[in-house]
Structures are given as C-alpha cells and as structure tokens.
Structure 1
Amino acid sequence: MTQSYPRARLVRPARFALSALALSLSSALHAQEAPPPTSNEWGGVGLLQTPTARMADDGDLSFTASYNAPYARYNLTMQPFPWLETSFRYINVNNLLYGRSVAGDQHYKDKSIDFKLRLWEESRLLPEVAFGVRDLGGTGFFSSEYIVANKNFGPIDASLGLATGYIGNRGDFSNPLGTLDDRFKNRRPVANSEISQAGKFGLSNMFKGPVGIFGGITYQTPMDELLLKIEYDGNDYRREPRNNNLRQRTPINVGLVYLPNPNVELTAAWERGDAAMFSLTLRGNPGNAPAAPKPFDPPPQRLLPRAVVATRMIASSDESSSTPPATALDWAAISAELQSNAGFRVERISRRGDELYVDGYQTRYLHAAKGLGRATRILANATGNDYDWFTLRTARVGMPIADLSINREAFAGYLDGTVGEDVLRRSTELQPADARARETLYKPKRSPFGGGFNIGYRQNLGGPDGFILYQVAANYSGSLLLRDNIWLTGTVSADIINNYHKFKYNAPSRLPRVRTDIRQYLTTSDVMLPNLQANIAGRLAPDLYGIAYAGYLEWMYAGVGGELLYRPSGERWAVGANLNRVQQRDYDQHWGLRDYRITTGHATIYYAFDARERIIGSLSVGQYLAGDKGATLDLARVFDNGVTMGAYATKTNVSARDFGEGSFDKGIYFSIPLDGFLPRSTRGRAAFNWNPLIRDGGAMLGRKYGLYGMTGDRDERFFYDNMRTIDD
C-alpha cells in the first residue's frame, strides 16, 4: 500500500536539503570531478540506507561500523572482482533480547550476507546498472532484491532503483510480475519461529511483494574531503523484523561524508526525520597494493662479468690447489649466501653437464622469481664460466616439486638492458622435477630438530552468549626429521586469555556433536596438545604425490589417514582424495579419547580458471565427521600479489531441520601476504575465516598437511605473473 505523508512533515527536511544543495552548487561549479564511491551504513557502496550501482576498486576490502537506533551494524565488504561486491554483516538490535531462557540480557544478533552484480558499466548515454540481493542466507528479516542505475553529472552522481522486500517496504506500486503469477503479488513475512531455520537462501520469497522506489544523489562539494548525500528511502519502517517498527517522519535522509584520506570515511546523517546515524569505514585495497619497501632485506649481489669471475677463480685455484674448479669452490659459503641473501635453504648442490642444480626450498621471498634472481647472481658470481643454466629444485619433505631453471646469459642481458622480458621468459623454465642422474657436489649437514613459538587466536562472533568469544594462546610447534620424508610434528598450546566460559548456550543438535562441543574443548584445560602426529610423504610418480599420517591430528580428533594427489605440471586441474579413520579426543586435549568413531574422507577436483581475474575452485565430495554425505564447493579470487578472497558452501544429505540454524555450512575467508606490509620480506600470511555458525553438519577433519598447498610451487601462472620481481 502506498503511504502518504502530511505536507508539514515533508517541507522542513526537504527545504533544508534543497537549500544545502543549491548553496553548494552555486559556490562550487568548478568542482566537476565525480564523487568517489563510498559506503552506506550496510557496508556496501551506496548512499545512506540504500545501495547504488557503483563499485569499489577491484581488490578492495573495507570494514564499516554504523549506528542508527536501534541498530548497530558491523559489516565486512570485499570486492573480489570489478563486477562483484560481497558484504557480510552482524546486526546488534539494541532494544531486543535473544530471550532470557537462551542468553539472559544479551541483545539479539542477526547475521546476513549481501551481493551486488554490475550488469553493465556507464557509457556516454547509458547509466551504470547493478542487481543485488540483501540478507541472502540469513534469517531473511532484512531480505531484499533490487536493481539500481547510476549516472554521473559532473560533481553529482545520481542513482535510482526499484526494490522488493526490505529496501522497498513502502510498496510504491504493485509487482509487475504479479501479472504472470499471483504468487509474486505478496511477500510472506518471516516469522520469529523460523529463526531456527535461518541460513536458507530464501528463494521462495525472492522478487515477491510490492515494489518500492529509492534513490538520491552524492555531491562532491568544493572541499575534496567532503561529500553531501541526499536520499529517498524506499522503506517506511512499518514492517521491521520482530514487530520492532520505527517512526518515520520523512523518507528523505541527508548526510555528510568526510574523507580525511582514501582509507577512512566518517559519515553523519539525519534519517527518518528524527534519527541520527553515524558510521566509520576503514578501507584498503590489498588485492592491488604494491609491496612495502624492504629496507631490512640484504641488497642483491651485483652480477659480475664472466671474465672478472673467471680471473678471480683462476687466481684462487692457483693459490689453493690444483683441484678442478667445480670441487674447489667453497660450497658451504655459497649455501650460506643462498640462505641469507636469496632465502633458499640448500639441501643438495649437484651438476649435470653445463647445468648447476640447487635442491631446497624458499624460506623468505613470497615470489619465486625474486629468489631465483638473487640466487642466479650468487651462483653466477661464484662459478664463472662453468655453467650456462642454473636450476633451483623445490622440494618439500623429501618430495621433489618443481625445477625452476634460468639461462645465465639471458639473465645477464636482462639486467643490463640488452634483453627484454619476453626473451627472459623464453629463457626461464618451470618444469616437473626429473629423475636423471646428477653428480653431487655438496650436501650440508642439517639439524633434525626445528620449531618456534607463535600466538594462536580463535573466535566466534555474534552468538547468544556474547558478540565475540575468543581465545588467545601461546603455541610452540616443533618437528623431528627422521628422514627426508619421515618426520614427527607437534604443538603445545598454553591458554593466555579466554572468555569461552561465557559460552553456556548449547544449540540443539540432531546430529552427533562433532563440533558443537567447542566450549568444553576450550575451557577444560589451560595447557593443551592440539597436535602430535607422525608423517611419511613421497612422490610416487612424476605427477603423483602421497602422504600418510597418524596421531592426534587436530584438537578434537585423533586417528590415521592419508591423501593422494595427481597434479600434472602445466595443467589447470588436479585431483586428490583423502581417507581417515578418526576418534574423538577428550575435552582436555591431552591423551584420552572419547567413544565416538567415524570414517571420513573426500575426493576433490581442483581447477584454476585461467581468466584475466584468476579464480581457483575446488569441489570435494565425500563423508563428513557427523556421518553425513555431501559436497563442498570453494571458489577464490587470487590476485597477482598473492591476496586471496574466497567463499565456500557445504550441502549434505542432512535436512535443514536436522542441521539446525544455518541450514547448511558456509563461510567466507581472505588471506593476505604479510610481505605487502612489512619492511622485511616474508612468506607469512594473515588469514581470516568467517563462519557464521558452528554446527555439526558438513564438518571436515582439520588436517595439518594438504598436498595441493604443499605442491603450490608448480603454479606456473603465479610465477610468471610476478616475473618483474626477478631483478629486485
């Protein structure tokens, strides 16, 4: 039903908005640049309450916290592609409780997922157009579908959209799809009793109900740091979730956005005619951010001419002995320099004809090309005219992964500018490690022990017992190498700070409690042994790898298992399978076991979609820890600098009723190389995984080692996409 408003209620805010706009326009006609895209209070790019068709830059990541009584919203928004925006949100409803029978005085929390797809970009005549869905897979309390268009007019960016559901709750006109089917005329409200079934995609309600109009403008004021937003809200707030209806004096919202720098947005607005809204957005673009300067890295060696190196070697050989140059070299010193300057830990140095091989693995540099360039300088300066090719053979726990080879002359020509990058690429090879015989020149002794300290962190967000439950622990992880491919590994964890004692609500479960006993595992003991296992790995064929393991495999399960992976070199695809027989561990994570046993395992196909924006996907099919059977789909965008943004979903043969709240398992994650931020090169990463609910369905075993990740150095595209780092 269309809602009318008394003239007196509309005149004052409308007059204020128009006067402010006229004043700004009259004083700043010179400011003709379009305003930048900024976040609305729901996290995505938009005005205040409503979305626009605009998108953030590809690779953008932002966090928005907003407050507009009674809602406090916490939004994480990712832009994994230029045409796709995704938002993930917790809403704290400050005037509603979960219910004293569940969580005492804890305010009600709602979780939701949004996405927005750009249908086409703006042209001289046509506007930019996007389609989006709000609250997909949540409770559906705020669910909405919309289409919106934007057109730029100098300093003004104007938007106009149509929405069904929450964004268009005013219902300005009946749904035109109702002429095709009467079911589109009305939208079924979400009842409170349906919360336990939250997490469904809610397809039965999509595009249904009356259509509301929304839109507005963003104006770039004469101050570069200040934007003005005026919006016509499509919601009348008379059908708020759980009958929490709000008064709206006017549908016109007005706000100012202050941008002190490109990474911070501060918004203040007056909405509904009687409510203030404040929001803070922190924004960055890790997907396309250049690496930070590395003042604490050692400088690469200067590549010396062949003649200079040859003269030095002859002089050194005459002074020392008459032994051949290849064996007279100080390989121990060369190995130490490869470790300290090129980040390559040497396990063997050998030769075959005019090619020198160095077996080992990269410990410091994120990009293999950077390590290869530094290693080539060191080896060329040490060996002179002895070798035309240098090969770094990457090995993991005794498994040869890949040979990375480079021609010395081509590399020297690239450094002095006589050879272009295209010639260097043709003179560089990434191939599977071959098994041809080589003459060993040097094999260092190494300690069988390794280990170090780190800080562990675990959290759960938005539960009825507290908005954030967390544990911070001090961990020591160590390993004992029995042979190159046989080793023991383990972790001891000591609790530092932990508020999981607040976690008192045990959600009902119709499945074996394979994950929902998390509170007991995190509060029973202060010192834990989350992992202790024996492993053996090997390359069974040129493209086939295997690993077997036994012990305390993760914090909740002990057992035995193994994995096989077939990963053809140079191909976009790989296939693998794992099989495990496990038993649930005691809550204290010491030595004892509980009665629950299960066989779990999955067959997985991996595929790298070799498009301009690289996507890596995997589909795993098998049996999960609760005995349910199904599949997990994982899709991730991988940027050239290694930043990864992804999402996953698991659907099994467990019904939504048996699964419980959430209906099926799902989540999002991103992983950012620390190399982009630190003043010293590192291969470390900061990872964030957001799983809205911990349930027992669709739960996988947390295996410590995965062969697809261990064989990542076979990824040709990641190497060649970062070829420019070879001269760093």
Structure 2
Amino acid sequence: MRARHYLAGGVSFLAALSAVGVDRLGADPLTSTAVNTYGTQGIIDMPSAEVAPDAQLSVTYAKTKNAARTTITFQATERLSLSFRYAGIEDYADDYDTYTDRSFDLRYQIAGEGTYRPAIAIGLQDFMGTGVYSGEYLAATKTLGDKLTVTGGLGWGRLASHGAVFSMGTRETDFVETGGVPNVKQWFTGDVAPFAGLRYQYNDKLALVAEYSSDAYVVETQRGLVDVNTPLNFGAEYKVGRNWTLAGYALYGAEVGARLSYSVNPKHPRIPGGTQAAPMPVAQRPAPAADPLGWSGRWIEDGTDAPGIRKALKTALAKESIILESASLSATRAEVRIRNQGFGAPAEALGRTARIMSRAYPPSVETFVITEVSNGAPLQSTIINRSALERLENRPAGEMLAATQFADPKLAEQLPVANVEGLYPDLQWSLSPYITASVFDPDSPVRADAGIAGRVNYRLGQGLYLGGSVTGRITGNLSEAKPDPNDNPDIPNVRSDSSFYNQDRFHLEDLTLAWYTHPAKNVFSRVTIGQLERMYGGVSTEVLWKRPESRLAFGVEVNYAKQRDYSDPFAFRDYDIVTGHASAYYDLGNGYHGEIDAGRYLAGDWGTTISLDREFNNGWRIGGYATFTDISFDDFGEGSFDKGFRITIPTQFVANAPSPDRTNLLIKSLTRDGGARLSVQGRLYETVRQAQQPEIEDRWGRFWR
C-alpha cells in the first residue's frame, strides 16, 4: 500500500448526509444506539448478536488518541448487514505518518432472540483487506428484563489477541498488498478467545455499556501507540435528537474515546406524503336520460370541439406538473400521452391524470389509455375502464389495480396519435447550486467544490433533444488534488488523471444531441452524440428489450469514446476507444434489483460488473457493485478491483414536495483505471422500468393520492 495521509473527514461526511434531508426519516430510538466503535451493532469494541431494523443505514465516526474510523453500515435484510470502513492510525507503520485502511464487514444473524434463546450472529470483520482489523466472531445476545442486555462470544484473528483459550490451527498471515481480496484462508482459524459485554438502557436517551475485550491491540502496543492496562472498557451513550447518537468511552484503563453515529431508515419516512394539493375527485357521469347525446357518442359526429377538450385537458394537467404530449379521441376511447414532471411515483401521476380525464370527456368515453412518455419515447400504457374508476374511487387501491391493465404502447394505442400543438421546439433551462465532494483523498480529509450549475434542454422534436450543462466553481479545493496515474504503462490513464479536469473555474460538463425511440414492441433505443461527460466525448448507442409486465430485461450498448482536453471544451486528447456492454437486468422482488454487464471498458479491459440494489417504495435506493476484468489485481493496484457503494435519495424527501428527481451519492474507496465505464446520461433501463408495470404495482398505493 502506498503512502496516504489520514482521513479526518468522518464528521464532515455525517454532516453532509444530514444536509441532503435524510433527517426526515425515522430510526428506532433504542436499536440505533447499539453501535460500537467499528460502526456495527455491538458494545464498545466488541460485536453483539443484535441487528438493526431492516433497511437501516448508519454512518459512524469513532476517534481515539491515535486512530479514527468512519463506517457506513446497511442492514440489507432483516438478518444480513454490510459495512464499509475507512480508518487512519497514526504511526502504525514506519513508512507512513498515518496508515490508512479500507475494510469491509459482513454479519448474519443466525437466530433471533426467543423467550429463552439468545440471538446468535456470525460475522466477518475486515474480511477482504490488508488485515489491519481482520477478525471473525460468533456472538450471542440476550435481553434480561426491560433494560439489561448481555452479550458473550468467541473471537478469531484480532478478536482473539487477548485471553485465547484454545486454537483452531495456524492462522494464515500473508496478505495481498493491494487489499480488496477476501482472506478466505484466515477465516475462523488460529487462536480463539472469549469476549463479553453489558448494556444498561437507563432511559430512552441514555445507555451505559461495559465490556471484556479480546482485542489486545498488539501492533499498537508494540509501537507504543496504546497502553492496554486492562481488557475492561466502559462507556456511556446518549441519543441526541432523533437520528444522532454521541458516546464517550474509557478504554484499556489508559485512554478515552468518542463516537458519533447517524442512523436513518429509508423504509419509514418521518413525514409521510408531501405538501402537494389534494387531487380532484372523480367526476361521476350523469344518467343516460340526463345526457342522451353524450352517452350515444353522436357528439363526436356533431362537431364537438375535440381540440377544445384537448386544450382544457392540457391546462388541467399542467397544474399537476404533468405535460400532455398527445390526446386522441373516439366516441368510446380516449388515449393520452403524458410526461410526468411532478411525481416520484408513476402511479400517483396516473391517478391524477385519470381523475382529470373523467372530468374532461363526454360520458360515452369508457376506456382511458394513459401512456407515459420519457425523452419523447412512449414507455408504458395503462388501460383504465372509466366505470371502474367511478365505482372504486373510495375503495382500497388494490381493487383499482385489479381492474387495470398494462400493455406496450404498440399494442395498447389504437387511435392515430394527435400531438398537442406548441410542444416543440421547447427550451428549458435551470440554475442551481452544486457541491462536488471527494473523500479518501491522499492529502486532505475531504475535498469539495461548490458553485453554480446551469443546464439547458432544447427539445427539437419528438424524442430529439439537445442538452448541455456548465458548472462555475465559486469556492473549493478539488483543483489542489494531486493526479493519481497508475504505474503500469500497459494500462492507459482513463480515470486516474481525473483531477486534471478540476483545474478550470468553468467547465462544460456535457453537450449532447440525443434521439430516443420506441421502434418496435418491447424495444427501446437511444443514440447520443457529443461531449458525453466531463472526461469523454463521442457517440453512445443503446438498445433495450423489456416487456411491460416482465421483471427481466436485456440491453446492448456500444460507444465510441475520445478523451477530452483538460481545459478546451471542444478539443480532444489522443486517446480513443470503442467500448460496449451486453446487460441483463432482473427485478428479484421485494425491492431487490440485480444487473450483470459484460463487455469492454474504457482502458480496453474486458470483464463483468455485478450490481445489486435494494429500492424502497418511497424511492430510496441503496446498493453496490463490483467489477472484475482481465486486468490482474496486481496491475489494477490498491483495491485489487473496482467496487463501490451507492445511495439514491428522492428529491421529494429534501423539499417535502412531489418530484421525480433524485440525488445520487457514489462512495468508492479509490479511482482506478480498470473497470472504468462512460458516464452517459439517459441510459434506458432505469428510465423505462420506472414507468412499467412492476414498478407501478409496487407503488400503486399512491394512485388515489
């Protein structure tokens, strides 16, 4: 591992997470405090067998005299939790002022707590790194009464460096210098030592903790960094507000430490709904005797003003931030195409559109076909019988779902498309503040730029868009980051010199002409040409196959990319390449989504990216990915292979107002050249699936909102 300075940005990261609005989400008031200094469920240093509430996301910053740890933990299922940690230890090794380490943890609760049985969990700590915190454990936790929790367990590796009672063979001590590779040969080998702990929940805010630690801090004591006078540690935790927990500890009989944790749960919004106005009620049709002309359908022959109906419909939908793209009409059928600009849940936009249609059309119109359009391409048609809409307005949403049909627009739309006049050409622009942050920098705790971002979208016609964005930095220090090129002459610097693109105060982020179509049943396409992203220009083409009702989709993307100049927005460097991937996507159910991409990456390497994400009905999404290519771990460098952790936060949770927009956070330990892909806006799968049947059904409860 090459020299890196200490990351002291844990508190900054917690503050940034809070700033994007996640304080709006709730967390269990007691369980969320049971986090140790490693950022996982535990006592002080030792783990426990407890689990956080399903889907809870916690960020922890723990500090002692010579070390600090920043940890992100996600309760991926009711029993499985995953953690990513970044730590710095001063004077831990001769070649470093501060030795920094990235590590991953995996924990699974084998059994939950019963009347007489304790909860039992098995865990791997730092299971794929350079081994600084490497250890395994088996823990049992039992609650006694309303306030006392007792934990006991057995530790291996670092968690067996004090008080070992027996051994399970010789533990492997060879580590991969670049890290990032599972240390399988080490797991549950070597000495085994017991640990124990107590937690006394004094009240809803305050908890007192004590433990017998099996970690002797061997390297730290040998280097004179820590004095371990006793294996006993003591502490107190206090819950500050709804999401924050502050803890202080007396450690090893010689030192003090502190911990700050922030916990949220995307499954449970603290403030349900938003500030939007209530929708219009469904208009009940009059009896046939009261409107015989309207029920007969002769009105369409008698010169009823269909363009007038279309204009009124357009105006009413615009008030809901829904753009009417086309409206076709017969005596019994109305077909509309809409662009949802107001709601994160497509079902909510569908429900409001259907209500407005019930008020706009004569009574003989029985069938409503609502097709959602994105980037000019029709994605999904929802077919609603008007009589069902009238009958079920005050019934549970599930009954309305059972009476609704979904189909590909190529099959559902039977009438000639009548486009709304005046939609094209259309110029839209925006100005907004931006913050771009970089963590895990070699020389600085957190680097960030802040400024103004401007974006222009010019809709030239159906599916044809010209768009671009410019950023202007007002303040920040990303330009001070040192370039980090790889040392292998056979691997081009396709991402590792990204810091060169931060030197100018103004930057053309992208400028593209994009064309989206739905050329055949279940087939969608995209062609994008121009400055595709900050570092590359070229041409990107994509085709996606996906049936509306299917959880499976396939896609192919082929790109020609040429590296852009560092400063001149329209100049290029010498490097160019053809890249592309074949992709398979699958909705695993219960909010889990898997993706496999296989193909050629920016550095010319061939390989596969595996992704798994969990999405919640309120729009939150948490997941990660790993990429393996024919670049060897040694040639890839520190980290061994590309991997990352990502969080998607719906804008409506920041603004507390309906919006389809989202904020994406990508957390990765290092930027390397292996496994690098283009960052092209408007890729098809996420756009298409969000408007299709499985996603609509998952959030159908918002149809009547």
TM-score by length of 1: 0.86
- Map Cα deviations across residues 68-104 of structure 1 (whole Å, 9 max, x no partner): 221122222222221121222221324458958xxxx
Q: How far is 1:352 from its partner?
A: 4.4
**Alpha-carbon distance in 2 for matches of 1:677, 1:593:** 38
Q: How does 1:64-103 map to 2 (within 5 A)?
A: 64-95=60-91
Does residue 726 of the first structure (1) align with residue 703 of the second (2)?
yes
Q: Report if aligned partners of 2:324, 2:339 keep a CA contact under 8 Å in 1.
A: yes
SS state at 2:678 partner: coil
- Map Cα deviations across residues 422-458 of structure 1 (whole Å, 9 max, x no partner): 4312211222113554155662312432221233433
Q: 2:136 aligns with which of 145, 162, 168?
A: 145
Q: Report if aligned partners of 1:327, 1:441 keep a CA contact under 8 Å in 2.
A: no
Q: How far is 1:122 from its partner?
A: 1.8
SS state at 1:466 partner: coil
Q: Report if aligned partners of 1:372, 1:392 keep a CA contact under 8 Å in 2.
A: yes
Report the counterpart of residue 173 of structure 2 in structure 1.
Answer: 188
Distance of aligned partners of 1:309 and 1:338 in 2 relative to their CA distance in 1, 3 Å threshold: farther
Rg bigger for which structure? 1
Q: How far is 1:345 from its partner?
A: 0.8
Q: 2:256 aligns with which of 276, 295, 304?
A: 276
**Alpha-carbon distance in 1 for matches of 2:171, 2:613:** 37
**Alpha-carbon distance in 2 for matches of 1:387, 1:173:** 80
Q: How does 1:93-132 map to 2 (within 5 A)?
A: 93-95=89-91, 107-132=98-123
Unaligned runs of 5+ in 1: 1-32, 101-105, 179-184
Q: 2:547 aligns with which of 547, 568, 577?
A: 568
Q: Report if aligned partners of 1:355, 1:390 keep a CA contact under 8 Å in 2.
A: yes
Q: How does 1:230-309 map to 2 (within 5 A)?
A: 230-240=210-220, 243=223, 246-289=226-269, 292-295=272-275, 297-307=276-286
> Greater CA deviation, 466-475 or 511-520?
466-475
Does residue 364 of the first structure (1) align with residue 364 of the second (2)?
no
Q: How does 1:15-30 map to 2 (within 5 A)?
A: none
SS state at 1:381 partner: helix
Q: 1:408 aligns with which of 386, 396, 403?
A: 386
**Alpha-carbon distance in 2 for matches of 1:560, 1:328:** 40
Q: Report if aligned partners of 2:104, 2:129 keep a CA contact under 8 Å in 1.
A: yes
**Alpha-carbon distance in 2 for matches of 1:169, 1:312:** 87
Does residue 63 of the first structure (1) align with residue 59 of the second (2)?
yes
Q: Report if aligned partners of 2:69, 2:88 keep a CA contact under 8 Å in 1.
A: yes
Report the counterpart of residue 514 of structure 1 in structure 2.
Answer: 494
> Greater CA deviation, 268-277 or 716-725?
716-725
> Greater CA deviation, 121-130 or 53-62?
121-130
Does residue 483 of the first structure (1) align with residue 475 of the second (2)?
no
Q: 2:507 aligns with which of 528, 540, 544?
A: 528
Q: How far is 1:505 from its partner?
A: 5.7
Q: Report if aligned partners of 1:521, 1:589 keep a CA contact under 8 Å in 2.
A: no
Distance of aligned partners of 1:207 and 1:521 in 2 relative to their CA distance in 1, 3 Å threshold: same
Distance of aligned partners of 1:323 and 1:621 in 2 relative to their CA distance in 1, 3 Å threshold: same
Distance of aligned partners of 1:96 and 1:497 in 2 relative to their CA distance in 1, 3 Å threshold: farther
Report the counterpart of residue 136 of structure 1 in structure 2.
Answer: 127
Distance of aligned partners of 1:656 and 1:258 in 2 relative to their CA distance in 1, 3 Å threshold: same
Does residue 583 of the first structure (1) align with residue 562 of the second (2)?
yes
Does residue 468 of the first structure (1) align with residue 440 of the second (2)?
no
- Map Cα deviations across residues 508-542 of structure 1 (whole Å, 9 max, x no partner): 4312111111121111x222112112222212211
Q: How far is 1:704 from its partner?
A: 1.6
Does residue 220 of the first structure (1) align with residue 201 of the second (2)?
yes
Q: Report if aligned partners of 1:466, 1:502 keep a CA contact under 8 Å in 2.
A: no
Q: How far is 1:412 from its partner?
A: 2.4
Does residue 163 of the first structure (1) align with residue 159 of the second (2)?
no
Kindly indicate which of the two structures has a greater share of residues assigned to helix.
1
Distance of aligned partners of 1:312 and 1:368 in 2 relative to their CA distance in 1, 3 Å threshold: farther
Q: Which amino acid aligns with 1:502?
A: E
Report the counterpart of residue 352 of structure 2 in structure 1.
Answer: 374
Report the counterpart of residue 670 of structure 2 in structure 1.
Answer: 693
Report the counterpart of residue 639 of structure 2 in structure 1.
Answer: 662
**Alpha-carbon distance in 2 for matches of 1:655, 1:416:** 61
Report the counterpart of residue 650 of structure 1 in structure 2.
Answer: 627
Q: How far is 1:650 from its partner?
A: 0.5
Q: How far is 1:277 from its partner?
A: 1.5
- How many pairs are equivalent? 668
Q: How far is 1:231 from its partner?
A: 0.8
SS state at 2:445 partner: strand
Distance of aligned partners of 1:291 and 1:708 in 2 relative to their CA distance in 1, 3 Å threshold: farther
Q: Report if aligned partners of 2:628, 2:641 keep a CA contact under 8 Å in 1.
A: yes
Q: Report if aligned partners of 2:40, 2:83 keep a CA contact under 8 Å in 1.
A: yes
Percent identical across equivalent pairs?
Answer: 27
**Alpha-carbon distance in 2 for matches of 1:97, 1:175:** 28
Q: How far is 1:699 from its partner?
A: 0.6
Q: How far is 1:647 from its partner?
A: 0.8
**Alpha-carbon distance in 1 for matches of 2:129, 2:172:** 17
Q: How far is 1:227 from its partner?
A: 1.2
SS state at 1:306 partner: coil
Report the counterpart of residue 397 of structure 1 in structure 2.
Answer: 375
4+ runs deviating over 6 angstroms:
33-36, 308-315
**Alpha-carbon distance in 2 for matches of 1:305, 1:250:** 77
Distance of aligned partners of 1:332 and 1:505 in 2 relative to their CA distance in 1, 3 Å threshold: closer
> Greater CA deviation, 512-521 or 433-442?
433-442
Q: How far is 1:268 from its partner?
A: 1.4
> What root-mean-square deviation, in Å, do the aligned CA atoms of Structure 1 and Structure 2 show?
2.7
**Alpha-carbon distance in 2 for matches of 1:425, 1:661:** 51
Distance of aligned partners of 1:432 and 1:35 in 2 relative to their CA distance in 1, 3 Å threshold: closer
